[in-house]
Structures are given as structure tokens and as C-alpha cells.
């Protein structure tokens, strides 16, 4: 692995203990220019991970706490009438909301109403916000990390399929192992605020460009297409993955390959990330909720 990326992962793992795989997935998502959805119980380290990522990469960071009474303007901002005291003339001036940052933590996104959730759709897809007929570009890079509580918990709203599809990946942190939890109790984890900045915007952009240049052979693309086709034909799925999901799977496989020091994608890379790209896109289409559909699809589709 590249020495710079290795140092970034080491710094993140000093804060989020015992979650090396999930930390690597989160960095992979950022390198692939996607957005990340983290679904887990409160107190598992979701906020800590997002803050640590921003600090290590030297990016602007904003946290938005989603609540049931939040309005779209609370996220994207709005135009406010301002009057000049000298000329007595006024005009509407746009005041950007917290979404105008490089790393945005949308904390407990499913506690807001669908109308407020949808305020992020254009921002996530187009990297811009349109208000009063004017388009405002968002900072670059622009990375949304959204956290959501299990839908079984009170006061939550299900994310619509169109919103879920905007997230490149979904991960779960889960409970720490006994060793990591003991380290937390003994205060042996670092603070995300105290982490050194190990990369700048220019370097991050360079790595994101490297992801785009990672080679994917014709045979590898055939394998991805067969996986996508299997989701569309599977008897336990009402519908399959979209072309956007196919592109997401390819881009994530490329970033995963880069994190493992390769300039080309292997079938193993596709298999490693498939669940995290596909699961949240297929859950609502699943006829049998107890079925591990991603494992079933991977098993059904041969590499050759």
C-alpha cells in the first residue's frame, strides 16, 4: 500500500479502535468520490470516524444534527432580505447553509422528514445547490457521511430508494471487540481533534484521479455485468441494481484495489466491496428478508 494512505489509515485506526475493515471502506468511499451511509446504534463511533477523516485529510467539516422539525433551508441555506442603512435600498442576499463544507456529517438523517432529507439529493448528486433560480457550487472535494439509526427505533423515517441510491456505500461499525473496548475504557484511544493533518486537498485530488486510472479488464467488466444481471433476474428480488449502481461497484472496486497497492482491479476486489455497494439498494426489493442476497448472488455468478 502507498505510504501516505497507510499513514492515514493508521491515524484513523488510532481513533476508531478495532474497526480496521470499516475504516478502510470509509476511505475507499471517499477516494471513489462517493458518499457514505453508516447505519448503527447510537454511540458506536460514527461521528468520531467522520470527524477523524476530515481532520486527517485537512478538510472543512460541518455536522448537521437532523431532527423531525428541521427544514430544508436549515441545510442548504436561503436568501435573506438585507437593507442598506445609507441608501435605504435592499436586496435578497444568499446565506449558505452547513452543507457548504467539504465533509458534511448528516447525523441521524432518518430522524428528519422526507422533505428535509430530499434537500440533500441535488447536493449529493450534482455537487451544487439551486435556490431562487440561482445555482451555487459546493466546495470540492464534497463528501457526505450520513448516519442513521435502525428503522425499528422510535422517531425515524425510512430513507426513500432515490436517496439510498445516492450513497455509494453503506457500512455498519458494530460493537467493538473486547480488546478495543478495554482500550476505550482505559482512555488509550486518540481524540479525533488531536489527529495530525496528513494530506491536503491537492494530494487527495491526486489519489482520486489515480482511482479513475486503475485498470479494469474486459473480463472484469464482464464479471460486474453478470453480477448486475443476476440481481435483475433473481427470483427473490422484485427489481435489480441500476446502471448507477454498476458504475458505483466499478469505482469502489478501483479504489479498493488502489488501497491494496494495485493499479488494476481483481475479481476479489469486486467481491470484497459488493455487499457494501449493493445491500442497501436491494433491501426493499427483497422478497425474503432473511435471505443473504449478496452472498447468494456472489455464489451464483462465476468469475470465468
Q: Residue 276 above 90 pLDDT? A: yes
Say if 135 falls within a structural domain. Answer: yes
SS3 call for 166: coil
The pLDDT of residue 196: 87
Higher pLDDT, 254 or 194: 254
pLDDT for 8-36, tens place per residue?
Answer: 999 999 888 889 999 999 999 999 999 99
Average pLDDT over every residue of 228-238: 94
pLDDT for 34-60, tens place per residue?
Answer: 999 998 887 888 888 999 999 999 999
Rounded CA gap, 242 and 249, in Å? 11
Q: Residue 228 above 80 pLDDT? A: yes
Last residue within a domain, chosen from 211, 235, 270 = 211
pTM score: 0.89
Say if 84 falls within a structural domain. Answer: no
Q: Are residues 206 and 231 in the same domain?
A: no
Q: Are residues 62 and 134 in the same domain?
A: yes
Say if 136 falls within a structural domain. Answer: yes
Of 45, 35, 159, nearest in space to 109 by CA: 159
CATH number assigned to the domain comprising residue 267: 1.10.8.80
Structural domain span for residue 230: 214-304
CATH number assigned to the domain comprising residue 55: 3.40.50.300
Say if 50 falls within a structural domain. Answer: yes
Say if 77 falls within a structural domain. Answer: no
Q: Are residues 249 and 123 in the same domain?
A: no
Euclidean distance between the first and the last CA atom of the chain, given in angstroms as a whole number: 27
Residue 304 neighbours by CB under 8 Å, 6+ apart: none
- In this structure, the number of other CB atoms found within 10 A of the CB of residue 170 comes to 22
Q: Are residues 11 and 64 in the same domain?
A: yes
Q: Residue 300 above 70 pLDDT? A: yes
Please state whether beta strands 128-131 and 134-137 pair in parallel, antiparallel, or not at all (unpaired): antiparallel
Say if 224 falls within a structural domain. Answer: yes
Please state whether beta strands 128-131 and 90-96 pair in parallel, antiparallel, or not at all (unpaired): unpaired
Say if 246 falls within a structural domain. Answer: yes
Higher pLDDT, 284 or 256: 256
pLDDT for 50-93, tens place per residue?
Answer: 999 999 999 999 999 988 888 888 898 888 877 777 776 777 78
Q: Given pLDDT bands bounded at 50, 70 and 90, which one contains residue 136?
A: confident
Provide the domain count of the chain: 2
Rounded CA gap, 133 and 257, in Å? 41
The answer to whether 163 and 124 are in contact (CB under 8 A) is no
Q: Are residues 301 and 164 in the same domain?
A: no
Q: Are residues 200 and 265 in the same domain?
A: no
Quote the mean pLDDT of the chain.
Answer: 89
Q: Are residues 20 and 169 in the same domain?
A: yes
The pLDDT of residue 155: 62
Ranking 208-212, 239-243, 280-284, 287-291 by mean pLDDT, the lowest is: 287-291
Q: Are residues 193 and 55 in the same domain?
A: yes
Q: Residue 106 above 70 pLDDT? A: yes
Last residue within a domain, chosen from 192, 211, 230 = 211
Q: Are residues 194 and 115 in the same domain?
A: yes
Q: Are residues 251 and 263 in the same domain?
A: yes
Say if 241 falls within a structural domain. Answer: yes
Q: Are residues 110 and 226 in the same domain?
A: no
Average pLDDT over every residue of 251-272: 96
The pLDDT of residue 154: 60
Rounded CA gap, 51 and 66, in Å? 17
Angle CA(151)–CA(156)–CA(157) in degrees, nearest 5? Answer: 90
Q: Are residues 201 and 224 in the same domain?
A: no
Average pLDDT over every residue of 139-154: 82
Last residue within a domain, chosen from 195, 211, 227 = 211
Amino acid at each position: 500500500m502507498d505510504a501516505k494512505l497507510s499513514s492515514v489509515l493508521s491515524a484513523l485506526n488510532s481513533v476508531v479502535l478495532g474497526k480496521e475493515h470499516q475504516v478502510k471502506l470509509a476511505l475507499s468511499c471517499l477516494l471513489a468520490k462517493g458518499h457514505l451511509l453508516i447505519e448503527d446504534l447510537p454511540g458506536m463511533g460514527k461521528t468520531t470516524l467522520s470527524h477523524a477523516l476530515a481532520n486527517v485529510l485537512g478538510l472543512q467539516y460541518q455536522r448537521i444534527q437532523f431532527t423531525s422539525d428541521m427544514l430544508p433551508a436549515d441545510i442548504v441555506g436561503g436568501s435573506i432580505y438585507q437593507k442598506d442603512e445609507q441608501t435605504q435600498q435592499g436586496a435578497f442576499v444568499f446565506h449558505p447553509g452547513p452543507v457548504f463544507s467539504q465533509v458534511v456529517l448528516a447525523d441521524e438523517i432518518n430522524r428528519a422528514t422526507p422533505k428535509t432529507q430530499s434537500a440533500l439529493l441535488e447536493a449529493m448528486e450534482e455537487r451544487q445547490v439551486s435556490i431562487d433560480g440561482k445555482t451555487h457550487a459546493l466546495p470540492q472535494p464534497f463528501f457526505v457521511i450520513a448516519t442513521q439509526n435502525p428503522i425499528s427505533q422510535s422517531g425515524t423515517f425510512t430513507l426513500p430508494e432515490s436517496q439510498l441510491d445516492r450513497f455509494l456505500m453503506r457500512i455498519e461499525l458494530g460493537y467493538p471487540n473486547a480488546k478495543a473496548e478495554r482500550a476505550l475504557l482505559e482512555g488509550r484511544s486518540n481524540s479525533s481533534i488531536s489527529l495530525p493533518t496528513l494530506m491536503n486537498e491537492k494530494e487527495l485530488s491526486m489519489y482520486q484521479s489515480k482511482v479513475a486510472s486503475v485498470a479494469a479488464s474486459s473480463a472484469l467488466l464482464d464479471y460486474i455485468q453478470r453480477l448486475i444481471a443476476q440481481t435483475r433476474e433473481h427470483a427473490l428480488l422484485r427489481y435489480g441494481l441500476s446502471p448507477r449502481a454498476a458504475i458505483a461497484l466499478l469505482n469502489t472496486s478501483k479504489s479498493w484495489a488502489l488501497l491494496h497497492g494495485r493499479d488494476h482491479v481483481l475479481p476479489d476486489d469486486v467481491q470484497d466491496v459488493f455487499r457494501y455497494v449493493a445491500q442497501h439498494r436491494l433491501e426493499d426489493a427483497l422478497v425474503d428478508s432473511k435471505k443473504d442476497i449478496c452472498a447468494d448472488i456472489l455464489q451464483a455468478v462465476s468469475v470465468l
